A and B are shown apart, each in its own frame.
Chain A
Amino acid sequence: MSFDLASGETLALIGHSGCGKTTTLKMLNRLIEPDEGEVRLGGLNAHDMPAHEWRRRIGFVIQSAGLFPHRTVRENVLVTPRLLGWADARQERKLRELLSMVGLPAETYAERYPAALSGGERQRVGLARALAGEPDIILMDEPFAALDPLTRTGLIDDIARLKSELGFASVLVTHDFAEALRLGDRVAVMDGGRIIQKGAPAELIASPANDTVRDLLAAPRQLAETVGKAFGDQGG
């Protein structure tokens, strides 16, 4: 497969479990090494440098947040800047800026341990950690799957806002078409390890390439109709 991303663009990888979307994502930051092919970022090739240096240029957000339980929020967020050798003052500025952007003021949250945070707060700290090294691109692997609907909506809004403020590109792996629609500039539908259709959300809805894509859209379409009807009946 092959795909590329313009700067600041978000690509949503969508598909059923086991379709290869997470594997694809992890190849981008070399958590899984591809058998062949290459990954490029700007003018750089992923395999021209050690894996850890490559990963410091890329943010990564996962479903369970994956915070280090023995480290405070401050230490979690600043891990990549520390590895990059930033000066203390720059680290401190970054911490305050990011924590305030994700709605967790540093005064209250910086010294807390992950165990003292709610699921949504943890995911926000995870997001701040992914952004701390000022990456050009962040990878998100089902970042909302473990959250309740209200928290999920809030976080999706935050990411959309951060994207426009910071201008990073992103790849979002999800099985929820609504999330893909909300955040993705383009959507790529995956099945059996390959991309079977790629395009703007509207294109997919208008002309699904085959039955798999059609099936994937069936459930959200049904939901949208039901919800739309319900709201319509209320005279909204």
Chain B
Amino acid sequence: MNGFLAEELAVFPANYAGHLKLALGALLTGLVISIPAGILAARQRHFAGPALATASIVQTIPGIALLALMVPLMGGMIGFWPAFAALSLYSILPMLRNTIVGLRGVDSDVREAALAVGMTARQRLKEIDLPLAAPVIVAGLRTASAWVVGTATLSTPVGARSLGNYIFQGLQTRNWTAVLFGCLVSAALALALDQIIAQFEKSARDRKRSHALAGMAGLVLIILPALSIFIPAGAGAGAGTGSSGAAPAEVAASQPLQGQTFTVGSKAFTEQYILADLIRRKLEAEGARVQTREGLGTTVAFDALANDSIDIYVDYTGTVWASLMKQDEPAQRSDMYAQVTAWLLDQRGVLALGKLGFENAYAFATSPETAARYNLETIGDVAGKPLSIASDPEFFGRPEWTRTRDAYGLQNLSIRSMDSAFMYDAVRRGEVGLITAYTTDGRIDAYDLVLLDDPRAVLPPYDAFLLVSPQGRENTALLNVLESLEGKISTELMRQANSRVDLERGSVAEAGAWLYEQVFPQEE
């Protein structure tokens, strides 16, 4: 806990700079598109309708969906560009609408007088129409800036760094301080940007330089914290999440990855954050520079790997089997891994490097009280009982759920989707009867949860394994380093690492450091 602030501050410049770059870039792009379009639309009614309708439709798409849609639309690209594109689209409507409304609101007598005194159409636009419409247009810009700064926090799942990294990771690891921190900084940035725009507007309206200066000063002030990312890594903070402890003993010795840069991905739950941190530590110990892309969705992470946007991440055999290969029938453990490996390489050029040694499967879990009350031992015992089941939204969309449901006659269960961070407490308190626990989660032991048997072996195995991108698999030095992780993490070890975050409220970096020490004990 006490390490929290230092760690959060260490990644702050990168998160903040990413957020600012996204927000300012999207606003500027939106401005450049919507002002000319608004000018055109204000004078040509047959263009105004379609333009506004299109922008409104974009606006009705929830922010997180629009961001996620950009990934396939841009050929599986993740990171800055899809987030930037989605946010730019988002910023267009308020500015377009206000430009049209503002220009149409200019007094027609004044506009006619402008022509009568001898202005050209262009002079009238510049000297009369735009200045008089400016307050309305600027109001649109302020609306857009509030939306964009807020929505930018949702860029994390598509792999763009933002203040959302604090929120998403905090939510998954139940680190409410991080969630609050991300929200507060984002809100402060939105307010600051609003004030800056207001200052520039005042300076334009009253033609006073003092307001412009105040605006510029504000702009510098919000950009300044982002600039510290340019402090070279050697100077300290730049290297990333508290890597100070990374094996100084090995520095002078052979560093096979010296000078290389890799990107490690992680999906959005505690174990994934910890594993990404572990891999980062290992690669950095071998001399590499490492970036992380955290909190990605399953398909986003895989697509990013397949097109070399990230180099490495950890996935699970059952996930690839069901979500990517679209296989309905489960397979034997060893057979499944062989098939998954072959499919990944043949179909997507991705290398499955090896199992890490643990399994993180879905298991039906219930509280001891519920188990006793309804006499539950196997999944089949649940049939016909008046119980509810909670899981992450992904699970209920997978074939293994429908298959389990049909195999054990679970049609009567009422279904509740919730974030995995909340479901363990929900089942412990009896708010839901069952959950689909992750078998590596430390809360199974801590809460004394009862795991129900699966006698028909309907639930597929979920062995964790390392995936390497098409580019990365050509890199022998990298593969050699990564192979050192193979078989090193037992289910028990992973569960302990997860507990450090989920139960003991330690940070991901602390858990990652701990796991690193367990896997690679420091030899003298």
Q: Which of A7-15, A48-56, A148-156 contacts B (4 or more CB under 8 A)?
A: A48-56
Q: How large is the interface on A (under 10, 10 to 19, 20 to 34, 35 or more residues)?
A: 20 to 34
Interface residue from B107, B110, B115, B127 paired with A55 (Cβ < 8 Å): B115
CA–CA, A56 and B119, complex, Å: 8
Question: Is A67's CB under 8 angstroms from B120's CB?
Answer: no
Kindly list chain B residues whose C-beta atoms are within 8 Å of the C-beta of A50. 120
Q: Which A94-117 residues have a C-beta within 8 angstroms of B?
A: none
Name B132's contact: one of A69, A79, A133 (CB within 8 Å): A69
B524 within 8 A of A: no
B126-154 interface with A by 8 A CB criterion: 127-128, 131-132
Q: Which chain A residues border B110 with CB–CB below 8 Å?
A: 66-69
Q: Which A28-68 residues have a C-beta within 8 angstroms of B?
A: 29, 31, 50-53, 55-56, 58, 60, 62, 64, 66-68
Asked whether, in the complex, the Cβ of A80 is within 8 Å of the Cβ of B118, the reply is yes
Q: For residue B122, give the distance in angstroms from its CB to the closest CB of chain A.
A: 10
- A contact residues around B114 at 8 Å (CB): 68
Chain B residue at minimum C-beta to C-beta distance from A55: B118
Evaluate contact between B123 and A68: CB separation under 8 angstroms: no
The reply to whether the CB of B112 lies closer than 8 angstroms to some CB of chain A is yes
Q: What CA separation (Å) do A50 and B132 show in the bound complex?
A: 26
Beta-carbon contact of A67 and B113 below 8 Å: yes
- A129 interfacial by beta-carbon distance below 8 Å: yes
Q: How far is the CA of A70 from the CA of B133 in the complex (A)?
A: 11
Q: Is the CB of B117 within 8 A of A60?
A: yes
User: Considering residues A29, A53, A68, A80, which has the most beta carbons from chain B within 10 angstroms of its beta carbon?
Assistant: A68
In the complex, what residues of B have CB within 8 A of residue A31's CB? Answer: 112, 115-116
Whether B504 is near chain A, meaning CB under 8 Å from some CB there, is no
A83 to B120, CA, bound (A): 10
By beta carbon, the residue of chain A nearest B124 is A52
Pick from A52, A64, A70: contact of B118, CB under 8 Å: A52
- CB of B116 within 8 A of CB of A68, answer no
B109 at the interface (CB under 8 A from A): yes
Q: Which of B67-107 contact A (CB under 8 A)?
A: 107
In the complex, chain B residues whose CB is within 8 Å of the CB of A60: 113, 116-117
What would 6 more interface pairs be, CB under 8 Å, given A56-B118, A70-B131, A80-B118?
A: A29-B116, A55-B117, A60-B113, A66-B107, A69-B107, A83-B119
The 4 closest A-B pairs by CB, nearest first: A66-B113, A56-B118, A60-B116, A66-B109
Q: Which B positions have Cβ atoms within 8 angstroms of A?
A: 107, 109-110, 112-120, 123, 127-128, 131-132, 205
A/B interface sample: 22 pairs, CB < 8 A: A29-B116, A51-B115, A52-B119, A55-B115, A55-B118, A56-B118, A60-B117, A62-B109, A62-B116, A66-B107, A66-B109, A68-B113, A68-B114, A68-B127, A69-B107, A70-B205, A80-B117, A80-B118, A83-B117, A83-B118, A83-B123, A129-B117
